[in-house]
Structure 1
Amino acid sequence: MKAIIVDDEKHVREAVKLLVDWKHFGIDAIFEAQDGEEAIEMIREHQPQLIFTDMMMPVKSGLELLEWLAAHYTCGKTIVISGHDDFQLVRHTVKHGGVDYILKPIDAEQLHAAVSKALESWTREEDERHRQRQSNIEMNQIRPVYWEKLLSNLVAEPSTYEATAAALSQEFGLDRSVKECRVAIMTLDTMNAALKKKFDANSDLLFFSITNICNEILRDGQRGVAYRYWNSEGEIILLLFGSSDSWRTILSSIQQGMMTALRSSLDIGVSRVQPFPSGLSPAYKDARTALRRRNLLSKEKQVYLMPDPLPTSQPVLSFSNYSEQIRLAVQSGSVEQISRAAEDWFTAVSTLDVITLEQLELWWSEYNVMRSRWLVEWFGEKPPALKTWLNSTPFTIPSDEAGSLSVPLWREQLTESLIELSKHLLEHQHQDQNVIYEIAKYIQNHYHQDITLQEIANHFYLSREYISRKFKQEFKVNLSDYLSDIRVEKAKLLLLNPHLRIAQVAEMVGYDDEKYFSKVFKKTVGLSPNEYRKVNQP
């Protein structure tokens, strides 16, 4: 902390320096001035927390210094040390924020108490100033988010305008005189690779940078406002409400500004003129449609106006026409077959001059429908976590360095995905086969017990239906018949022992009912247990 002693008498300044326990109060810098004018210069330079001043000084008096402090340096705490016991001087001190008025000769205890009081007051006020500064910082951080959410809500619910009209008018010049508007959308889905890499770890900074560039241009003449659209990921909305014929110039300036600041630009979709605020929702849909109909193969970032004519007619290409070939290739497990099947599809795609976002999303939807059917077919009604993982794959545009749709990259990604799916399918089939043989082994070891399909299902944590279907596929026989055949074969061996009764044999191979055992045995062997024993006696 710092202090300054202002007095035209050197011995008074020395007395104050001796009487105050500076270390106790944490004051490590003490300055001196001979009059108010010199004091003002030093206070401006060093900004001390504590000020001691005399009242009667040449050039600029203590009275004038107090007035200056009250007007320009309110955070400092002032203690007056004067040789004049004058009510008007005391009154002047109190009026201009002085903490105490001490008479010469200086009393050490009185001075100590005054310094304590002054610094306690400064500490309280400094804490409050710090709290206020922190609050201002937080408000400055929250304020943009508040306006972004309010403006985002205005697009979805234009009726909310009336409740916020005054605030929007004051903040953006968006007052009730605005009758028409356009909505423009800047989308990040085709930004170039360099920009994506630069802001990969901080998307908030990217939005902040782009909206700042836009608003620098839009604020000139209050022609609009740009903000992050919270109701859709990766979109920035430009609400244009200036002169209706100036929007092309504005958007051109924005794209040039982005190229200068970020070395990149973005595609922009623009709506038709709509009434404000009631037309905000249809204007937003217009702008989105304009973007969805843009040619993703274009290497230049452009402005797309709704309603521009739709892309020129070209052959209708459906992924469904190629899905069976791809499905068989995945089932084959052959990387070569999968690559060839995918290549046939992309050969057809490469003949197109125009690919829109609408078309790309349609193909993605077709692929997802087909893949879902394959998963049910291959993994059953309740497939493993693989199905959840595959179905949760988000849709993104496979882009090259310029941010345009890259068919080669798309081919690579789809082929790798299909190869991965084929790998999981083969693993699953192998696991299926293993578990079915485990079930067969379990039956062979427990044939003599009263085992049921439900017991086996519980033991292997599988459904009865799944076990029945897979067992029949693998062994070409029902599980119940497989168990009966094992029991009959074991019974044949036991019947060769003439000392075992038929009932004993039946019980030893898992049948409690001798008659039912005999019925099953005869159906399988063609002879009753007794007949079989007589025929096969040594």
Structure 2
Amino acid sequence: MIKLLIVDDEQLERDGVKAILERNFPDLILYQAKNGNMAVDLAREHAPELILMDIKMPGMDGLQTMEQIQREQRDTQFIMVTAYDTFDYMKAAIKLGARDYILKPSKASEIVQTIGRVIEDIEKEREQLEKELRLKDKWQKAQMLMETDVVTQLLFDHVHEVHVDMLMDMMDFRASHHMFVMVISIPEAGENHYSSIRQRVMKDGWTGALYGRQLPIIVFRKPGVTYRSQATTLARELLSIGMGSGQAWTIGIGKVYDSMDMVRQSYEEALLATAEAGLGHTYTFFDHHSNASGKRHEEMMDRKDIMEKIRTGKWDEVLSQMKAAFTLMEKERTPAYIQQRTQEVLWRISWTLSECGVETEAPLFYIQPGDTRRLWLETERLFTRMKEAYINRFTHVESDTFHLIKQFIKEHSHEDISLESLAQKVNLSPIYISKMFKEKQGINYIDFLTECRMEKAKVLMTDMEKSIKEITFEVGYHDPNYFSKVFKKVTLLSPKEYRKNLLGSHA
């Protein structure tokens, strides 16, 4: 309902207008003020949408009162009421933003017509504002889903350039070509801080989904600020979010790379830095402990070798190679160094399992470096725990799960299916689903969804009554220009060219 304030120093005038309004606009909430000061107080207390303001009043006149109210109530509309039909008065009122005016005396019908017109405008503006707020809320939710999806795809798979480019255009995000990844290791119950973390990161980059206890963030470089300064500031602000929880957060920071294709490398570095950040509330740069990187691959296994063998279940081979590397380092390296490198390998294994949809506890050493025999026993324990988690996970995965996933996507391709929501439906990790598509289908999840939509679009194209805009929405897109861009990418023809060819073949 609309609140209306009648401001006039004459009681008879206020009562007359009030009677007219109650008879013609019964839903209005009415207030009265007999002078400017009282009007200011009532406006402050009730925030009326519309004020009928008498210009000529003792003390603070109508124009002065209007100006003072507008300082606090910017959205309030005014209709000036005056017996002075002079250009100067109305020019001042219009300059202040008055919507209309009523002359004294006026017929009841003229008062009703003028007020009714302004009320109608207010209601339309209110509806438009509510619509914009609803759209903004929907967009923010959609943006969050798109953001987490693209981070997941970039870090654990491959996103076609058309999707990343369009995503950045849709979010009006002009990213630097240089970026790095931060990984926050959050203890259990820390997910309650996800929205606060994302809110802080929004102006600097994209926040992924929380997998296990790891939250990845892609940070775009700021011009005019050094990498270390930008990363340190952001890391401290993020750590401050978790300070009140009483739990220790750690943040690993990867190095800067100049393309989306290399951002995954920064993610791996951030993971390793997280593992070596210790147990305190702190952050660590990857290159703080990478001085020995030249010899690292000679002493420990290659990353691709680990990933491939773990993914194919060759656990015994991995453990044998780890033992050989461990024995080699015992002859030449300090216990602290051996523990650091072994920790790195265990984290690589944990990360690979996460990709496969296997969630495990963080493989952390809770012993002080010194006794290498005890260190190896602890390594075997952590290794065995991850192996058992892998075996248990894949024992319970149905053989037809992938078929069910594909069928669901085909049937619901017109909907806004995010990788995250799909994962929840089938109770699998988004990373694991992404990997299943890459390994079993030869393409990623986004490309498969696009294929389904394009096949449906081709069928709809045969109905010449349907416009390209209608087809856009029916197959699951919200922007005809984007739909046309993707359609041409897949079919090598624009929608209009494809339909023209259809017409030619029918002829």
Tell me the TM-score normalised to structure 1 length.
0.46
Structure of higher CA gyration radius: 1
Q: TM-score, with normalisation over the residues of structure 2?
A: 0.49
